[in-house]
Copies of this chain bind each other. A is one copy, B any other.
Amino acid sequence: MTEFLEELRAALGAEHVLTGDDALRYGRDWMGHYIGHPLAVARPASTAGVAACVTLAARAGVAVVPIGGNTGLVGGTMTEGGLLVSLERMNRIREIRLDARLVIAEAGVVLQKIHEAAEDLGLYFPLWFGARGSAMLGGALSTNAGGSNVLRYGSTRGLCLGLEVVLADGRVLNLMSELHKDNSGYDLKQLFIGAEGTLGIITAAVMKLVPAPRAHATAVVAARALPQALALLNRMQEATGGRVEAFELMPADYARRLAEVRPDLGQPFAEIPGVTILIEAATTSEDEARPGPDGAVPLVTKLEEVLGAMLEEGLIGDAVIATSEASRRAIWARREAAAEICQGLAPYVDTDICLPVDRVDRFLTAAAARLDALDPGARTITVGHLGDGNLHFSVYPTREGLEQAVMETVEDLVAELGGSFSAEHGIGLSKLPSMRRRKDPVALDVMRAVKAALDPGGRMNPGKVIP
């Protein structure tokens, strides 16, 4: 191993090969749930540098595990004795083009940097979630990250036009197409998106940008129950012809936890409602964004009309519409505190499930009943992208040892309702047992065949994704 580390230092510069305590900082995930001991951390600054890491590691028989902003939630970068390849120095936006509406960026670019660069050109990069100030593009691609705007713009996969990947044998696969249509053989980039580094290391990508909205209409709404919330989504989509960008669910268990941990963020309603919804629509049309003589923005007026009618019909209890960018931000801050406020209670079982949208209500009702039978007094905190049917349903059992039973109870119910145990966080280590239990065995076999074909030595992030 000494020789391997010497070769790495020669290739990257000694200061970019970290060992000991310096390496341990990278070995631990941000939540402290996964504490690994990497052999070393390499910090290449170029695609050629990443290729050198992979080639040298292959020769030494060392596993290679890529790491970006370390904001993952599933232990995807944990390693015992492998080489962590940090993409943090590959942080250049290579090109950003207004007319073509695209950005070409390296894997280590923090998402927020792309948001800012796009904004400077009057464009918008739709990949948006709480950790955007630390999460890096390569990690978002490798987990096919979701976020708050998937309803309107699709997930990371749908935003990616082209990809550059270092393969297990150190060769560079150049798929950096800028085209919206390119059917020249198998669409190989799809294999690496969501593969969590098990098939190769993503080093750069071509990502779509969209025109920046000229106006937003944002509200927080106390709905009677889930069906009435979904009626709000449908009515607003119909009224605006599909301008809803985010439709987020915060049930009472979430609001109560938020009040405990972050009282500074406030609560929109005097009493915590059973179902709180964050709805946001946006438009790029000047007609819909230009304030009228009375100062009212037409898109906001539409939201007011929809909410007003639903209030009169008794379908919603109350609603607060953002009147400024500051009040919009305050509404979002309560949603984006999710990752933070779900921490700190133990024992705990976190999930990232997806359900058909019209079955979310049945899930929540049935889950409460089954958990009550299993562990009366267990606490839950639920938050989710209701428009996509994606819930982060966290359970806090009353005692240690129930975690496995809770997870299986939730998974059983999800499977009964035609859902998935994994929506937008990835598999990593934490969802491996679910993959083993729940995934179609034929699909697992095909995944193993693809893995063996692309990484015959089994050195790319071994032990992740595929059980």
Contacts and interface: CB of A to CB of B under 8 A. Distances in A.
Interface of A: 99-100, 143-144, 146, 150, 154-155, 157-158, 167, 171-175, 177-188, 190-191, 193-195, 199, 211, 237-243, 283-288, 302, 354-358, 385, 388-390, 418-427, 431, 434-435, 438-440, 442-447, 449-450, 452-454, 465-466
B390 A442 contact: no
B184 A427 contact: yes
A187 B183 contact: no
A294 to B, nearest CB: 18
Given A181-B389, A240-B285, 18 more contacts: A171-B442, A173-B446, A178-B418, A179-B389, A180-B389, A181-B354, A183-B422, A184-B431, A184-B434, A185-B427, A186-B450, A190-B191, A211-B238, A238-B286, A239-B285, A239-B286, A452-B453, A453-B453
A174 B285 contact: no
Nearest to A445: B171
Contact of A465 (B186, B426, B445): B186
Given A185-B443, A453-B449, A179 B356 contact: yes
Contacts of A358: 99-100
A146 B239 contact: no
Nearest to A215: B241
Nearest to A352: B183
13 contacts: A100-B356, A146-B181, A175-B443, A177-B420, A181-B388, A182-B422, A183-B427, A184-B420, A185-B443, A186-B447, A188-B446, A241-B284, A242-B285
A157 B189 CA distance: 13
Contact of A447 (B174, B185, B427): B185
Given A144-B187, A357-B100, A182 B449 contact: no
A454 B465 contact: no
A182 B426 CA distance: 9
A443 B174 contact: yes
Contacts of A175: 440, 443
A175 to B, nearest CB: 7
A420 B237 CA distance: 36
A157 B259 CA distance: 43
A366 to B, nearest CB: 18
Contact of A194 (B187, B194, B426): B187
Contacts of A357: 100
Can you list the 7 inter-chain pairs with the closest CB atoms, starting with the nearest?
A: A241-B285, A190-B190, A453-B453, A181-B423, A449-B453, A182-B420, A184-B422
A167 B167 CA distance: 26
Contacts of A287: 239, 302
Nearest to A174: B440
A449 B454 contact: yes
Contacts of A167: 442, 446
A449 B199 CA distance: 12
Nearest to A299: B241
A193 B191 CA distance: 12
Contacts of A285: 238-242
A450 B453 contact: yes
A62 to B, nearest CB: 23
A25 B396 CA distance: 65
A238 B284 CA distance: 7
A241 B178 CA distance: 23
A464 to B, nearest CB: 10
A178 B186 CA distance: 23
Nearest to A438: B184
A187 B193 contact: yes
A465 B185 contact: yes
Contacts of A466: 185
A371 B369 CA distance: 73
A435 B100 contact: no
A465 B452 CA distance: 22
Given A172-B442, A438-B184, A453-B453, A241 B243 contact: yes
A456 to B, nearest CB: 9
A51 B156 CA distance: 34
Nearest to A175: B443
A140 B6 CA distance: 53
Contacts of A188: 443, 446-447, 450
